[in-house]
Amino acid sequence: MNAAAPIVRVRGLANRFGAQVVHEGLDLDVRTGEILGVVGGSGSGKSVLLRSIIGLRTPDAGDIQVLGVDARSSAPADRQLIERSTGVLFQDGALFSSLTVGENVEVPLREHHPGLPDGLRRELALLKVKLAGLPADAINTLPSQLSGGMRKRAALARALALDPPLVFLDEPTAGLDPIGAAAFDHLILTLRRALGLTVFIITHDLDTLYAICDRVAVIADRKVVATGPLDEIERLDHPWVQEYFNGPRGRAARQAGTRTAVES
C-alpha cells in the first residue's frame, strides 16, 4: 500500500434492505494514524458502514479498499490480511459469555496463530488485558462479573489481540457514566500514541468527538455530507449538523474540549 494512500478508501457505496436505501454513493477516506469520528442520526447507517468495511456485510454497490486490499474479495489471502490487520469493538462488546476475559482475548490468537504454545498465548492475552487498563486478575473473570466499563475494556483487549494497525470502535462509551467515558477516551488517545493506531470510531458522544477525534465524518442523506476537523464541521450549513453541534449539548462539549486542550 502506498504510504500516502488512505488506510480505508470507500467509493460509491450503496447499501439497501429491500426498498429501504441506507447508503447511496457514499465516499469516505480514513487517513493512516488518525482518529476519525463517524456521526449521524439514528438509522443513518453508521454501523452498516462499519460492517461493510470489515466484510461482515456485502454492499449492493461500491468499492472498499482496506490497507490496499479489496474488502469485498473472497480470496483467502485477502481475507486473512484484513482480519489480521483490523480489530473491532462492537457496541455491546460481543464477548463470549461462557469464556473468561482471557479466553475471549485468546480467540483471535487461536484462530490466526494456532501454533502458538498455550503459555505464550496466555501471556499475550494478559499483556492485552493490562494494555486495555484492566487489572491482571480480570483475565480469569467472566464478562458477567464485570462492570460495563470493564467489559468495554475487555472487548478492547480482544480487538487489540493481533496488534492490528486499524481499530474500529462502535459506540465505545455508550452506557458509561461521564467519568468512565472520559477515562475510556483517554485510554484510546494513549493507545493511539503508544501503538500508532488508526481509529475509526462511531459515536454519538459529543464529549468524545471534542476530546479525541482529529476529524469527523457526518453521515446524512444516505452519504457522507462532510468530513473535516470539528471547527469546519460546526460551520456546515446542514440542518442535522447545526442541531447536533450547535445545540446546548454541543456548546457544552465544545467548551469542555477547549478546556481539556488548554490543560494538556
The burial of 262, by beta-carbon neighbours within 10 Å (0-12 exposed, 13-18 middle, 19 or more buried), is given as exposed
Q: Look at residue 223 in the predicted model and tell me its pLDDT.
A: 96
Q: Look at residue 72 in the predicted model and tell me its pLDDT.
A: 87
Q: Give the separation between CA 74 and CA 55, rounded to whole angstroms.
A: 10
Pick the CATH number of 8-93+165-263 from 3.90.180.10, 3.40.630.30, 3.40.50.300, 3.40.50.1820: 3.40.50.300
**Per-residue pLDDT tens digits for 159-180:** 999 999 999 999 999 888 999 9
Q: Look at residue 264 in the predicted model and tell me its pLDDT.
A: 45
pTM of the model: 0.90
Q: Which residues of the chain carry a pLDDT beneath 70?
A: 1-3, 247-264
- Domain residue ranges in the chain: 8-93+165-263
Q: Look at residue 259 in the predicted model and tell me its pLDDT.
A: 40
